[in-house]
Each structure stands twice: as C-alpha cells, then as structure tokens.
Amino acid sequence: MAVKFVQGNEACVEGALYAGINFFAGYPITPSTEIAELLSLELPRRKGGFIQMEDEIASMCAIVGASLTGSKAMTATSGPGFSLMQESIGFAIMTETPCVVVNVQRGGPSTGLPTCVAQGDVMQARWGTHGNHSIITLTASNIQDVFGMTVEAFNLSEMYRTPVILLFDEVVGHMRERLDIPEKGEVEVIERLWTSVPEGTDFHPYLVRDDGRLPMSYFGGVHRHNVTGLVHDMWGFPTTDPGMTHKLLRHLVDKLEDNAELIARYKEYYVEDAEVLIISYGSSARSALHLVEERRQRNESIGLLELQTLWPFPTELIRNKCEGREMVVVVEMNMGQLMQEVKKAVGRPERVFLSNRIDGTFISHKDIKNTIRLIQGKGV
Amino acid sequence: MAVKDYIRERFFPQMWCPGCGNGIVMNSLIRAIENLGYSKNDVVVVSGIGCTARMSGYLDFHTLHTLHGRALAFATGVKLGRPRLKVIVPMGDGDAAAIGGNHFIHAARRNIDVTAIVVNNRIYGMTGGQYSPLTGLGLKGTTAPYGSVDPAFDLVSLCMGAGATFVARTTAFHAPQMTDIIEKALEHKGFSVVEVMTQCPTYFGRKNKQGGPVDMMKLLKETTTPIGSKAKKENPDLIERGIFIQEERPEYCEAYQELTKKAGGRNV
C-alpha cells in the first residue's frame, strides 16, 4: 500500500488510475485544473490518451467517442464548463456510453466565485441535460473517499452503461490529507462487459439482458453498429415508434431508479439514537461531523448521515433514517437543493430544516450549531 | 464488392429530397472506399446533425450519429482512442462552419488523421431553408427573406489557414473527380477536408430561383473551373475545384505516440 499526502484533485486522479482510466479530454478551469495537469503527466506514461480540447463541449464529446472505442474515459471541469457539457452528457445517457464527469464545484451562477467553495450544482447534475433521464452522482468529504468514490464512479458507469457525475467541491478538491492507495486487487474494479455474440451473428447493442445489463462491442470490432442520440431500437437505429420510445425512456430511468438503494453509498456517525439527525455531503459534511463529535462530548443526542450517492436519490434510505427524529437538518452550501429532496422523502417534512451558506465561505460547525439553536428556540 | 454491400439496405429509400446531392456524395464515398479496399470493420463514420449527417445511418460501417456541430470532437476521441481506424466525417455547411466551426478549425490545427467531407448546399436543409455561413451576401433563406447581409466563409481558405494538410473542392456534378479526391483524402495522413458544392433544389434553389436539380447542377458546372485554369484567369469569379494543398506535417496521433515514448510509456 502506498501512502501519499495529496489534495482531493490528486486523489481523484489516483482513483481514476486505479480504476484503469485510459483516456482523458478536458479544458482548464478553476478549481479542477489539477486533475487535467496530473493526467497529462500520468496517462502518456501508461500509453493512455490525454488531450486538451478546444472547450468543454468538445472534451465531453471526445470522451464519449473514446469510450465507444473501448476506453475508460473521464473529463473534469467546474460550473461553467459543466453547463457547456450538458448536451453531450445527455448524449452519453441516451447512447448508454460509460464515462465519468468530474465537477469540482465553485460559486455560481455564471462565472460566480471561481476560487470559492459552493455546492450549487446538485440539481444541475440531476437535471442539467434536457428530457427525461436519470443519472448517477457521487460525492465525497475527504481525500480517501475521493479516491474511493472515483473508483466507484468508473465501476458504476460500466455496470449501468451510463455517465457518472463526481460532484466534488473546491474545499475537497484543494485540501490535503493522507491517502492510502490500496494494492491492485484490494478494491474491486469492474471492467466493461463485452458481448459474447460471435462474428457474423446479429448483435443488439441496446437489447437489455435478463440481469438488466447491456453487453457492448466497440468501434473497430467485428460488430458494426449504429450509435445515435435519436430514440433508437435494439440495433441502435432511429425510430419514432411510440412503443419503442416509451420502452427506451422507461429503461433509461428505471435502470438507475430501480437500483437506487444498491447505488446508495453513505456513512453514518452516531445515527442510532440521534434525536437531531444531520444530513450532509461533500465538504460541508466535515463541519457537520465536527459539530456532532463536539456535541456528543456534551451528551447531546445528535448524529450525521453523510450521503456519498446524491443521485439516484436514496429515498428509502432517507425515509428510514429520518423516521422518528426530533428534527432533521440538511447542511449544504446552496439554497436547499438536497433539502427539498429530503422533505419529499420523509413522513414529517415540517421537521426538516436547512443550515447553509451561499457566500463562498466554507460553512463551519459554529454556523450549523447556531442554526440548530435557532430551530430549538435557544437563540445564538 | 458492389455499392450495395456498403449500405444498410433496410433503410432505403433514403430520406433525402428528390434531386438532392447527398446521394451522389455518398456514392462517391463508397466507391472511394471500395477502390481503396478498406475493411468495413476498420471504418468509422461520425456525423453530426443535418441532412448530410444522416449519411452515417445508411452506411454499413461503425457509425456514430452525434450532436449538431460536434462530430469532429467525437471523431477526435474515436481516433485517439483507436488510432488504426479510418475516421470519416460527413458534415453539412452549417454543421461544419457555424455551430461546429470551433471544432473544425481545431481539428485542422491538430492535423488529426480524420477526413471531413463538407457537403456545402449553402443552406440549412433539415430545418427548412434558413441561411447558413455559406449562403452568401444577398442570397435568400427562410430567415433571410430580404437577402442575407452575412458574408460567406471561403471554406477552403478557412481550413488551409487553420492548418489542414489536405484541402480540396469539388462538386456534385463532377462525381468521378469527387471519388478520386475522396480517395486521396482518405489516404492522406493528417486532417483532410473535401468541400463538395452541391444542390439543394428544395430550399436554396427554390428561394434563390435557381431552378430544379438539373439547372442547379448545370450551374455547378458553369460556375466552377479546375485550379489555375485559363478560364479562371479570364473570369476571376469562377470557383476553383481540385486539390489546393496536400502536404506532410506530423499527424496528431503519431505525434502523441512519440510523446508517450518520451514519457516512458509502458502498457498497463
């Protein structure tokens, strides 16, 4: 096992390399640039492809193209670049092309606060591209988990044939901590499921197997097939047939939403008996944990549920964990994007509160403590 | 093999209007590939959105039908992901020079080994006849009812300036020349561009009173001339066709291969 002292963006690169990335296309943008810089160093050494494209649109398109030749492909960006990628993220969803998109969030909207922290892209990750769809979005609050979630992102993208968004934030991206890199084989790496259909036999790139998976072929292989962003049949050819359209859209959504609990990654701290349950994710979960540990020393009944999967939203998990709490406080650095989802999931939405900051300043344990005191009528 | 061995027959008849030039271009492309003897499994056709972009669906190669303007960006990922593949990008003038203009000039600058066939009918056909960056001053489209005030690009100069190492122009009237040029473009190591001037009788011809397909093809014959011809000296308004540039410059994927050696590249 190698031990390193790295920033989050570097841990993301280590995770991608561990998962077997062999193609990266990107465009410089704060605060994600280190990911591109480090991969420009590492990928050529491993005979992988690295290219700095002319913009984020092209970067996203290039990773989809490379993935279709059989590569494990990733891009990395931040707010404005993530906006530009939305159309081609939709293309990856529609064509069921595995790929990983890292968004190290910064303050928005627009150019916003390029060097400051925010978590304002939670809903954009879910609904940024047009049309009915579902998506996997993972996040992490510390450097070790950035590594782990990056490996998970590649694994889930191959498992479900879908783009996976890694929604980090500026604090996680730039802070430094210890990283233990596991030996090869210690953490599972899922490889692409190739079709076993022999040459000369009709290959259906979009025919769902009984286990829900869709084996792939690749450009340059023996199965020439069509890949289109249009609604398509099991061969990948365009269709406007209402039945097929309905079936395809349901498949794109159901393959993720039906497996939401399987895809859900989370951590629990002192949750069992907590009267006050904090739900948080990303860097704000660090401040939440700080507060929980501090208050537990004073025998206060408070716990933290840290979400690492944001989408598909783990509705069952949230409902179960929130059951019977005195209050649920969602801590995030936006205006309640995830809080609204929590409210929708629980039986007592009036007991769900928001503790947030939207001013580019990192939310502290004191900020959260003050919010809780206000909710409890104690004043600050 | 016969031409029909390269098409997905179940999708015929194709969706292009009667008199459209796209069928002629597709035929020339197939003949060029057949003459070169490429294996169908080694060819990837990447296209964007528009009438021309529909070509990918009719061809029995690996085919990728993408987003408007983005074909070359996808193609860059395909080519760099598996450099031994032949990557061909049929695109319309709007696809290449308007929404995809940035990707077009950067593909040319990198000199990546991709062949772009720009089928220039000077109008957006798929959406019903709006003016494009190739329509030209004074000419009409459904969004230029009084005549366009937008000057047109010269595609040949544009991609030469951007660094393409093979640039040619031909027309739908000159089909044998087109086949010959596409063959040379496909064999060229680097970014190759073939502009094919073509007729859109349904929209451009109708809006600009150029007559039917036959009249429009006659016009392609009459308004063009081989590069450096005597006719061009006598009439500078004639549009030249032929190969404008065919030069050697390090190809992007090969240059990248060299870079991986410099970096101590090893297979993992």
Mark A323-358 as b/e (b = at least 16 C-beta within 10 Å).
Answer: eebebbbbbbbbebbbbbbbbebbeeeebbbbbbbe
Q: How many CB pairs under 8 A join A and B?
A: 145
Among B62, B103, B265, select the one facing A44 at the smallest CB separation: B265
CB of A65 less than 8 A from some CB of B: yes
pLDDT digits (tens, 9 = 90+) for B162-219: 999 999 999 999 999 999 999 999 999 999 999 999 999 999 999 999 999 999 999 9
Chain A positions in Cβ-Cβ contact with residue B63 (cut-off 8 Å): 224-227
- Of A314, A309, A337, the C-alpha closest to A122 is A337
Q: Are A25 and A59 in contact (CB under 8 A)?
A: yes
Query: Taking 90 as the threshold, does the pLDDT of residue B148 lie above it?
Result: yes
Q: Are B203 and B56 in contact (CB under 8 A)?
A: no
* Mean residue pLDDT across chain A: 97
Q: How far is B31 from chain A (nearest CA, A)?
A: 19
Nearest CA in chain A to B65: A228
Contact at CB, B74 and A87, closer than 8 angstroms: no
Query: Taking 70 as the threshold, does the pLDDT of residue B267 lie above it?
Result: no
Mark B224-241 as b/e (b = at least 16 C-beta within 10 Å).
Answer: bbeeeeeebeeeeebeeb
* Mean residue pLDDT across chain B: 97
Question: What residue spans of A31-142 are helical by DSSP H?
Answer: 33-45, 56-68, 79-95, 122-127
Q: How far is A100 from chain B (nearest CA, A)?
A: 14
Mean pLDDT of A342-349: 98
Q: Are A80 and A57 in contact (CB under 8 A)?
A: no
CB of B66 less than 8 A from some CB of A: yes
> Hey, what long-range contacts does B204-209 have (CB within 8 A, 24 or more apart)?
B204/B121, B204/B122, B204/B123, B204/B129, B204/B135, B204/B139, B204/B141, B206/B129, B207/B123, B207/B129, B207/B139, B207/B140, B207/B141, B207/B142, B208/B139, B208/B140
Q: Are A172 and A282 in contact (CB under 8 A)?
A: yes
- Of A67, A69, A72, the C-alpha closest to A91 is A67
Mean pLDDT of B93-122: 98
Q: Two tokens at B186?
A: 């496909």
Contact at CB, B64 and A51, closer than 8 angstroms: no
Contact at CB, B64 and A227, closer than 8 angstroms: yes
Mean pLDDT of A59-81: 98
H/E segment holding residue B29 = helix B22-36
Query: Taking 60 as the threshold, does the pLDDT of residue B268 lie above it?
Result: no
H/E segment holding residue A312 = none
Chain B positions in Cβ-Cβ contact with residue A222 (cut-off 8 Å): 41
Residue B141 DSSP label: B
pLDDT of residue A20: 98
- How does residue A380 score in pLDDT terms, banded at 50, 70 and 90? confident
Q: How far is CA A37 from CA A24, A57, A113, in A?
A: 11, 19, 22
Q: Report the distance separating Cα B133 and Cα B94, nearest Å.
A: 7
Q: How far is A254 from chain B (nearest CA, A)?
A: 24
pLDDT of residue B152: 97
Question: What residue spans of B59-165 are helical by DSSP H?
Answer: 71-81, 93-94, 101-110, 155-162
Contact at CB, B64 and A49, closer than 8 angstroms: no
pLDDT of residue B244: 98
CB of B60 less than 8 A from some CB of A: yes
Q: Are B244 and B157 in contact (CB under 8 A)?
A: no
Interface with A, mutate which of B12, B54, B60, B63 (most A CBs under 10 A)? B63
Mean pLDDT of A8-20: 98
Q: How far is A25 from chain B (nearest CA, A)?
A: 8
Q: Report the distance separating Cα B34 and Cα B1, nearest Å.
A: 7
CB of A210 less than 8 A from some CB of B: no
Contact at CB, B260 and A23, closer than 8 angstroms: no
pLDDT of residue A379: 82
Q: How far is B106 from chain A (nearest CA, A)?
A: 7
Mark A64-77 as b/e (b = at least 16 C-beta within 10 Å).
Answer: bbbbbbbbbbbbbb
**From the CB of residue A191, how many other CB atoms can be counted at a distance below 10 Å?**
11
Mean pLDDT of A48-65: 98
Among B57, B103, B256, select the one facing A237 at the smallest CB separation: B57
CB of A44 less than 8 A from some CB of B: yes
Chain B positions in Cβ-Cβ contact with residue A203 (cut-off 8 Å): none
CA dihedral B25, B29, B34, B35 (to 10 degrees): 90
Q: Helices B71-81 and B252-262 meet at what angle, rounded to 10? A: 40
Mean pLDDT of A277-305: 98
Mean pLDDT of A43-63: 97
Mean pLDDT of A8-19: 98
Encoded amino acid at A75, one letter: T
pLDDT of residue A1: 81
Question: Percentage of residues in chain A with pLDDT exceeding 90?
Answer: 99
CA B198, B100, A112: angle at the middle one, nearest 5? Answer: 160
What residue has token string 């995030």?
Answer: A332
Rounded to a whole number of angstroms, the distance between the first and last alpha carbons of chain A is: 46
Contact at CB, A62 and B76, closer than 8 angstroms: yes
As beta bridge partners, residue A306 has A267, A280
Contact at CB, B77 and A54, closer than 8 angstroms: no
Q: Helices A56-68 and B71-81 meet at what angle, rounded to 10? A: 50
**From the CB of residue B181, how many other CB atoms can be counted at a distance below 10 Å?**
25
Q: Report the distance separating Cα B47 and Cα B215, nearest Å.
A: 29
Mean pLDDT of A237-259: 98
Contact at CB, A58 and B266, closer than 8 angstroms: no
CB of A25 less than 8 A from some CB of B: yes
Q: Are A106 and A79 in contact (CB under 8 A)?
A: yes
Report the complex ipTM: 0.97
Contact at CB, A53 and B62, closer than 8 angstroms: no
pLDDT of residue A175: 98
CB of B64 less than 8 A from some CB of A: yes
Q: Report the distance separating Cα A334 and Cα A311, nearest Å.
A: 17
CA dihedral A105, A108, A109, A113 (to 10 degrees): -130
3-state SS, A269-300, equals ECCCCCCEEEEECCCHHHHHHHHHHHHHCCCC
